[in-house]
Chain A
């Protein structure tokens, strides 16, 4: 197993002052068990996805002009300070499949690698999502193959899993997200308890393989999900063990309090900080953060921004009304502000080559362009960071109508080092945004 070396130190402005830690530069010192070579990668490439539900107010989102001199639209205004680090991409589409709920489909299929005609039994074109395909590749180098986070503020059991998840191992097999900051922290930095349990893994793995022989086809599929998870955890434990010493040095402080007690912006920022921390320390190279689930139709407080609780989903259907539309655009701006704050933090973290942001593809998007009509054409998309110098930033590019968003996934996959030729209904890569 590879050892990572500690090179120099820096500070992250995460979690306010409560979480200050030495910066770790993750690097490898040799080839990977005869397989892929990661040695050239002094500062590995990372990918992160920041999801906002229910679409956006299109008229306030889309910049009017294109190119490097484009003017930020009202909603994207909060990105002014990091303008040089971002690219606004418009006219990227997903083909909507009739017959399933527009919202559930938006979250579930946004990152899916399935083409619109490849329906899963649940009725969605749902296959292993792009982040998980990336993790299949990068997971060989990191302790955690991927990190899924959620700032779902709802405590009820109102909508199905399809509204609440963007990351999937495959249909019926969700990559569950964590929404308690303390648990994320525990998982990333306090793996000792799992190390203790390692001996159980062999036992249950053997038991599972016996059991498999007794099962029919469908049941086997379910058991295989279990087995795959045991293997993932097994690797995780080994790798965390290998990195125990370094991780002890970082000794970050545990976030304080439960999410229920946090302000809305605090909740998103703390989750974002934990995500940045995991990327920075190379505990993982792929992460996703869902700011809220689709639909849910439940009012939520957004402190300081709004006096009364916000009603994201209801507002999307009321945006014909001028006042409602303005409120909705303000809520969009709130989400963009949260994204911008995280981009700024990433831009301040220096790595061997450039900053963390330079080495990351940090994507802001939604599975609907507008919640009003559940449209999937011209999905809101902003990419921050250069993916290790491979992306051009500081521009707005409008693609020809009907360009599949899968083309973006394919482009990102290639930057991450995947050899895929096609993802979902992709027709090629987006050459115009590559350096």
Chain B
């Protein structure tokens, strides 16, 4: 539900200059980390160049393959690579040598090379050129060629290799020329900036203090409102439900919070007074807003009231992660389609500061043969919890424990510890489940008690009371007596712990309602771990919770930073991003099989859809932003993206997949997704991705209303209200509409003559029509198939005009506060596990201010949320005095 409108929008920005959000990068690769461009996958191919596997020649080549080229003497082979930051680099080029490889002169187009280090055969002919001889007795790695201290600009660089001849010993390739093999090219930056760019400290929002005028009292506000508002808001007028009559007599502000928030919002967004009423002079308006602000803040501070968060049950992804981390298992306990990206090899490592350029990855959700059938024998997940409307599946209100689920929890615990693979899967198996031979029962109980005390603190993420410990130890003792085996009894207790409400519920607050500030930081540690890791806190976090140090802002900040550097924060992509983008809708998107045959892998096979590959693009973009700590604005528009060759061909080729007809058009298995630089602004970001465009379409046409509603929900956090009951019907196939000489837009507009409909649709539809150039499977089209023109112009929020999708992106970049607020609100709601409420507005605005100041840097959003009273569940510290 939409609670807050936009921050005050100040009309056209001065100059209309947009900031380049690609500059923002909080995490840089460490010095030793060198940017590698694989020949076979990262460098662009041209002419005869092609992929060659070198597996038969040994394990020496990076990624086991190189880029192979052949030509006649005099031919030139060129390849491009992208330099992300201007600077001075050592460029290393790793070639392959072989009996039929030639001699080449190399140059980096127009870039002077001052110093070359290489093998004997390498010489530098002049300032720009180097020669190499790639002849070798056997197929082997060539001695690397180093171009030292080269000054490179940001952008595409071209490496040119001219075949000049060959070593006398070399044999010709196919009797017409010679070959070249390029394993990789790496860049090592020498002039790396020292540290992260200086972050602007928490912004003190109180520039207000400079204001000469004092805040108004409640009575003064009331009298001002009386002048402009009471005519209509008097409780009897038909004009409004909002009754402000109480403001006339009563000065008890605590009873008026909700109204005060509503008034403040209406004033701030210029919603009130309506156009036909007397306007409020600007100074009066801003003074009213300021006064309400300070009254509301004072009140919130006094009442320490942030909306309560209901204790919630873990969802199945969290349960998996929690069990995995508690028992230190080597991996997941059951297959989870929620984890869409199935890595061929581990790739997600935020501490490296670089998201790899090339990732081998499969789609678990749609690649039906890629869901691990069984991880632990006999352990299967419980049902997926559904997302709240416009929200996430981590809200206490929606997460209950039914008898069926309880059965699942009880049998899951048992199944996990009795799986045949368990012992070798559990890293702490010996420490936890094994006991020395020959202990008496009493000794065994004592041993178990010590272990359980530590385990239960981690499992329950709270101090373990003596009675609780005793209860589980007694259970151990009973089981030990019955089975006679320490290990079995210990496993029984662990299974019981996994079914305990203390394990299964995430408690937001430690103390009962009505009591004071939480005494320890355990709940905070819990919230933090479930927010960033979708899991339980680790030992370090629990230690800081025990001592309470976690509550210190600096410690909290360090911990947040540490957690964002841990691969476990991939949960933000698996759990948050997937739900935020509502990517699940792609699973069931069914473009018409006849109309869009190329969406399906082959004729007659409806099982494999392009969604297999397109679903991963937005997630990989999100992960790259997370790992490299870039700006969230890249989700609106980015100059790079991650695609497989096939997905890239879908976007860029007239006839994708090389006209493959009756065999697999695209690969349904693991694919290599590579970072690709984009120059076409119709692509880039999530907004215009094929995944988004496909899942917001009907089988036979686009669905601008659904698209618009998706954009409004995801990018503006202004989901439209439920549609009215009398929805007029529209043809399901755009060809039927166009046959009447009308575009879809004209047809829809014809239907919205009704004023009641128009008021909502005027907000949603332009966002959908802006994307009309993308067809029902996300491919760009200049006009409809009938030849009718596409009309994609409109206004963002009724204010900022655009004529097409690219200009819509431009407007969003020009007014970044719109998306920053929306994204922050989504993430806050996810972090808190509840819907945002009107009383949260002040804190949300503080968070958004911080995000804006840091240009939407990902970690900045996270820090701002974590440090907010909303997340801390505690009174704001004194940051601002009037």
Min Cβ gap A174→B in Å is 6
Once bound together, how far apart are the Cα atoms of A352 and B590, in whole Å? 50
User: Is the beta-carbon distance between B468 and A317 smaller than 8 angstroms?
Assistant: no
Min Cβ gap B369→A in Å is 13
Contact pattern, B 296-323, Cβ under 8 Å of A = 1, otherwise 0: 0000000000001011110000000000
Report the nearest A residue to B504, measured CB to CB.
Answer: A226
Residues on the A chain within 8 Å of B388, using CB: 160
B interface size (C-beta, 8 A): 75
Q: A172-B398, A222-B310, A299-B590 are in contact. Are A157 and B726 (CB under 8 A)?
A: no
Min Cβ gap B194→A in Å is 45
> Is A303 an interface residue, CB under 8 A from the partner?
no
Contact pattern, A 215-231, Cβ under 8 Å of B = 1, otherwise 0: 11111001101100110
Min Cβ gap A106→B in Å is 11
Contact pattern, B 725-763, Cβ under 8 Å of A = 1, otherwise 0: 111111110000000000000000000000000000000
Q: A158-B585, A223-B501, A299-B699 are in contact. Are A164 and B386 (CB under 8 A)?
A: yes
User: Is the beta-carbon distance between A215 and B512 smaller than 8 angstroms?
Assistant: yes
A interface size (C-beta, 8 A): 75
> Is A256 an interface residue, CB under 8 A from the partner?
no
Report the nearest B residue to A172, measured CB to CB.
Answer: B397
User: Is the beta-carbon distance between A373 and B725 smaller than 8 angstroms?
Assistant: yes
From A174, A200, A215, A375, B496 is in contact (CB under 8 Å) with A200
User: Is the beta-carbon distance between A176 and B732 smaller than 8 angstroms?
Assistant: no
User: Is the beta-carbon distance between A194 and B407 smaller than 8 angstroms?
Assistant: yes
Min Cβ gap A142→B in Å is 13
Which one of A21-29, A201-209, A271-279 is at the interface?
A201-209
Min Cβ gap B644→A in Å is 22
Min Cβ gap B719→A in Å is 11
> Is A128 an interface residue, CB under 8 A from the partner?
no
User: Is the beta-carbon distance between A218 and B402 smaller than 8 angstroms?
Assistant: no
From A157, A194, A197, A374, B393 is in contact (CB under 8 Å) with A157
Report the nearest B residue to A208, measured CB to CB.
Answer: B501
User: Is the beta-carbon distance between B384 and A157 smaller than 8 angstroms?
Assistant: yes
Report the nearest A residue to B385, measured CB to CB.
Answer: A161
Report the nearest B residue to A201, measured CB to CB.
Answer: B410
Which one of A43-51, A318-326, A426-434 is at the interface?
A318-326
User: Is the beta-carbon distance between A121 and B410 smaller than 8 angstroms?
Assistant: no
Once bound together, how far apart are the Cα atoms of A242 and B266, in whole Å? 65
From A156, A193, A206, B585 is in contact (CB under 8 Å) with A156
> Is A155 an interface residue, CB under 8 A from the partner?
yes
Report the nearest B residue to A202, measured CB to CB.
Answer: B475
Report the nearest B residue to A153, measured CB to CB.
Answer: B588
From B499, B514, B584, A216 is in contact (CB under 8 Å) with B514
> Is B199 an interface residue, CB under 8 A from the partner?
no
Once bound together, how far apart are the Cα atoms of A181 and B510, in whole Å? 41
Min Cβ gap A231→B in Å is 9
> Is A414 an interface residue, CB under 8 A from the partner?
no
User: Is the beta-carbon distance between A229 and B401 smaller than 8 angstroms?
Assistant: yes
Q: A102-B722, A155-B588, A156-B587 are in contact. Are A187 and B407 (CB under 8 A)?
A: yes
> Is B207 an interface residue, CB under 8 A from the partner?
no
**Chain B contacts with A in 554-602, Cβ cutoff 8 A:** 579, 582, 584-590, 592-593
Min Cβ gap A345→B in Å is 25
Once bound together, how far apart are the Cα atoms of A155 and B167, in whole Å? 62
> Is B112 an interface residue, CB under 8 A from the partner?
no
From A161, A203, A296, B472 is in contact (CB under 8 Å) with A203
User: Is the beta-carbon distance between A223 and B311 smaller than 8 angstroms?
Assistant: yes
Once bound together, how far apart are the Cα atoms of A173 and B404, in whole Å? 12
User: Is the beta-carbon distance between A225 and B725 smaller than 8 angstroms?
Assistant: no
Q: A222-B311, A321-B729 are in contact. Are A156 and B588 (CB under 8 A)?
A: yes
User: Is the beta-carbon distance between A197 and B411 smaller than 8 angstroms?
Assistant: yes
Once bound together, how far apart are the Cα atoms of A213 and B467, in whole Å? 13
Once bound together, how far apart are the Cα atoms of A318 and B727, in whole Å? 9
Once bound together, how far apart are the Cα atoms of A183 and B864, in whole Å? 45
**Chain A contacts with B in 151-178, Cβ cutoff 8 A:** 154-161, 163-164, 169, 172-176, 178
User: Is the beta-carbon distance between B502 and A158 smaller than 8 angstroms?
Assistant: no
**Chain B contacts with A in 396-420, Cβ cutoff 8 A:** 396-398, 400-407, 410-411, 413-414
User: Is the beta-carbon distance between A223 and B505 smaller than 8 angstroms?
Assistant: yes
> Is B442 an interface residue, CB under 8 A from the partner?
no
Once bound together, how far apart are the Cα atoms of A374 and B405, in whole Å? 32
Residues on the B chain within 8 Å of A100, using CB: 722
> Is B513 an interface residue, CB under 8 A from the partner?
yes
From B402, B496, B584, B585, A203 is in contact (CB under 8 Å) with B496
User: Is the beta-carbon distance between A229 and B403 smaller than 8 angstroms?
Assistant: yes
Once bound together, how far apart are the Cα atoms of A372 and B730, in whole Å? 12
Min Cβ gap B802→A in Å is 28
Residues on the A chain within 8 Å of B729, using CB: 317-321, 324, 372
Once bound together, how far apart are the Cα atoms of A295 and B393, in whole Å? 19
Residues on the A chain within 8 Å of B383, using CB: 176, 178-179
Min Cβ gap A105→B in Å is 9
Once bound together, how far apart are the Cα atoms of A122 and B500, in whole Å? 28
Once bound together, how far apart are the Cα atoms of A309 and B609, in whole Å? 15
> Is B682 an interface residue, CB under 8 A from the partner?
no
> Is A236 an interface residue, CB under 8 A from the partner?
yes
> Is B495 an interface residue, CB under 8 A from the partner?
yes
> Is B389 an interface residue, CB under 8 A from the partner?
yes
Q: A158-B588, A175-B402, A318-B732 are in contact. Are A211 and B501 (CB under 8 A)?
A: yes
**Chain A contacts with B in 286-336, Cβ cutoff 8 A:** 296, 298-299, 308-309, 311, 314, 317-321, 324
> Is B471 an interface residue, CB under 8 A from the partner?
yes
Once bound together, how far apart are the Cα atoms of A321 and B730, in whole Å? 9
Report the nearest A residue to B512, measured CB to CB.
Answer: A216
User: Is the beta-carbon distance between B579 and A157 smaller than 8 angstroms?
Assistant: yes
Report the nearest B residue to A226, measured CB to CB.
Answer: B401
User: Is the beta-carbon distance between A219 and B501 smaller than 8 angstroms?
Assistant: no
Once bound together, how far apart are the Cα atoms of A282 and B402, in whole Å? 21
Residues on the B chain within 8 Å of A208, using CB: 500-501
Q: A122-B397, A160-B387 are in contact. Are A233 and B406 (CB under 8 A)?
A: yes
User: Is the beta-carbon distance between A236 and B403 smaller than 8 angstroms?
Assistant: yes
User: Is the beta-carbon distance between A187 and B501 smaller than 8 angstroms?
Assistant: no
User: Is the beta-carbon distance between A311 and B699 smaller than 8 angstroms?
Assistant: yes
User: Is the beta-carbon distance between A101 and B389 smaller than 8 angstroms?
Assistant: yes
From A99, A176, A216, A233, B513 is in contact (CB under 8 Å) with A216
User: Is the beta-carbon distance between B722 and A207 smaller than 8 angstroms?
Assistant: no
From A164, A200, A226, B495 is in contact (CB under 8 Å) with A200
Min Cβ gap B584→A in Å is 4
> Is A210 an interface residue, CB under 8 A from the partner?
yes
From B407, B413, B501, A207 is in contact (CB under 8 Å) with B501
From A196, A213, A229, B405 is in contact (CB under 8 Å) with A229
> Is A232 an interface residue, CB under 8 A from the partner?
yes
Min Cβ gap B612→A in Å is 14
Report the nearest B residue to A321, measured CB to CB.
Answer: B729
Report the nearest A residue to B578, measured CB to CB.
Answer: A157
Once bound together, how far apart are the Cα atoms of A161 and B722, in whole Å? 16
Q: A200-B410, A207-B502, A219-B310 are in contact. Are A373 and B400 (CB under 8 A)?
A: no
Min Cβ gap A378→B in Å is 15
User: Is the beta-carbon distance between A174 and B400 smaller than 8 angstroms?
Assistant: yes
Min Cβ gap A136→B in Å is 13
> Is A69 an interface residue, CB under 8 A from the partner?
no
Q: A175-B402, A233-B406 are in contact. Are A219 and B500 (CB under 8 A)?
A: no
Residues on the B chain within 8 Å of A229, using CB: 401-403, 405-406
Once bound together, how far apart are the Cα atoms of A164 and B513, in whole Å? 33
User: Is the beta-carbon distance between A196 and B402 smaller than 8 angstroms?
Assistant: no
Once bound together, how far apart are the Cα atoms of A62 and B168, in whole Å? 94
12 contacts between A and B (CB under 8 A): A158-B588, A169-B400, A187-B404, A196-B414, A203-B472, A204-B500, A214-B511, A236-B403, A314-B698, A317-B729, A321-B729, A374-B725
Q: Which 4 A-B pairs have the closest CB atoms?
A: A216-B513, A219-B311, A374-B725, A298-B588
Q: Which residues of B contact A (CB under 8 A)?
A: 308, 310-313, 337, 383-389, 393, 396-398, 400-407, 410-411, 413-414, 465, 467-468, 471-472, 475, 478-479, 492, 495-496, 499-502, 504-505, 507, 509-514, 579, 582, 584-590, 592-593, 698-699, 722, 725-732
